Structure 1
Amino acid sequence: MAAPGRLRLYLDLIRWDRPAGWLLLLWPTLSALWVAARGFPGWHLLAVFTAGTVLMRSAGCCVNDVADRDFDRHVKRTAGRPVTSGAVSTREALVLGALLALLAFGLVLTTNAAAIAWSFAALAVSLVYPFAKRFFAMPQAVLGVAFSFGIPMAYAAVQGHVPVEAWVLLLGNLFWVLAYDTEYAMVDRDDDLRIGMKTSAITLGRADVPVVMACYGAYLAVWADVLSAHIPPLAVGAAVLVAAAQALWHYTLIRERSREGCFKAFRLNHWLGFTVFAGVVAGYALG
């Protein structure tokens, strides 16, 4: 196949045309960066964490698709993925993933020793998640830690250590990941039941929708509590109000548990994260 054709396959492998995935990681990471720095963190850290988020999410897609290739072929939504279909070999995917992860690590090396040290823990959690779906009833919780690890890394890069506040924000963000990734799992529930995959949507059963909404509430409550110590109440209240309105809209999309509605709710979650980030930026600008 010609080089441009290979490139298209690699871009498809890392979901280049579906930025919602890396945006879900980016907004809480940048929010934490702002809070840790008590305002604008500087262009260097902004560039490092933005590019690093995109690179690590792309690397994660490569590893995930290799780990799930025998399962994905039985799922309607994933059967055509490059590794699953055989268009990209497992070796190619792993090499690409390793190169992307090395590029991300190169960016981390421009920060400080604390961030470098925590990057190894972040990598370990990212590698564990693709296999958690085989053993844990709520693998979305593992993903929640992986997708929230930019928060302690942001604090480490700015402050040289990770305070308790960072872990509280990580816990709050984990609830958000549980909410949107359960919506994602609801899309594939029938296929996952048939092939024996473990997901929160299967484990929760008919409690899925109430738990998703409770997780949205927990996420917003935890972040509002932490942010209220740093930025004006008006900024916190406005961000939480707009984000809560989006969460209620998502309820209307998922309450019937249709594939289309659940997938739409998942895809739109990055706007909820952006809303919180915008509130953080506005709060420090007003502060």
Structure 2
Amino acid sequence: MTSADLYRTVRLIRRFEERAIEFVRSGEIVGGIHPYVGQEAIATGVCAALTDADVITSTHRGHGHVLARGVNPARLFAELMGRESGLNKGRGGSMHAADFDLGILGANAIVGAAGSIATGAAWALRQRGRDSVAVTFFGDGAMNEGMLLEAFNLAALWRVPVIFVCENNGYATTMPVASAVAGSITGRARAFGIPAFTVDGQDPEKVLAATSSAVARARSGKGPTFLECITYRFDAHHTFEHRARLDYRSADELSTGRSRDPVQIQGARLTALDRAAVDAEIEALLDTAAGIALGSAHPDPAEALKYLYASPEVLR
């Protein structure tokens, strides 16, 4: 993975999210989104360390994860807009994006729930003889959820090849970490005997290096690793804040948090000419993707109950 490849991904995620916010404001995306702006280095570095055989689970703030995993941005835009050409035919929306062909087992709106899904998936794949690793992303707010702690326990006991990635952006919605988490975040994982490391979550190359080590450990049969990636959410927890104007972060804090921008950090590793070429490539890609999504049909209301059940039989 070259510096240009990493920059391409962080730039893609940033510009996708900025355009998605514009579509929320125009009404093309109904209900809003949880922007990933500022946290792009984590998805980029983690997914760059994975192979096609690996799987991930995501969160309510999951666009960056699925884009870094290789999802077609046209299909993701279409999903956010509720169109038939979306990843899940417009039925899943922003918080439930999935693509099993790419190893994306789904975003999950339930805080901390995806950790248990990834742990189970990693164990099942290993039982089938596959050399696969699972990664689960979650925020600092998930550290107090029992489902996640149960996943830690099982993963440690059975040496499950799963990597727990905590995107610590400092807030669970508006609740500061210091007001919600007793002890330390890495200490929670270490209590289960899981090696835990704190990583600079604003630098894609540092995230890639840490994840590569964790992946190698998991593939060798040594079990799970926990990565706490320190990051900062540049935008709102949810686009609803653009109207509500919640006042929980000071101007000084926002300025300091935004001073280490993953796009700028990675972009500085390229020449100005190479960076401009990638920027132009991403704009063209997203122009095309947005056009495809906007031109796609909405689902037929008569099929509102379609795809709800695994069985085609009607439940009575």
**Structure 2 length normalisation: TM-score?**
0.29
**Structure 1 length normalisation: TM-score?**
0.31
More strand by share: 2
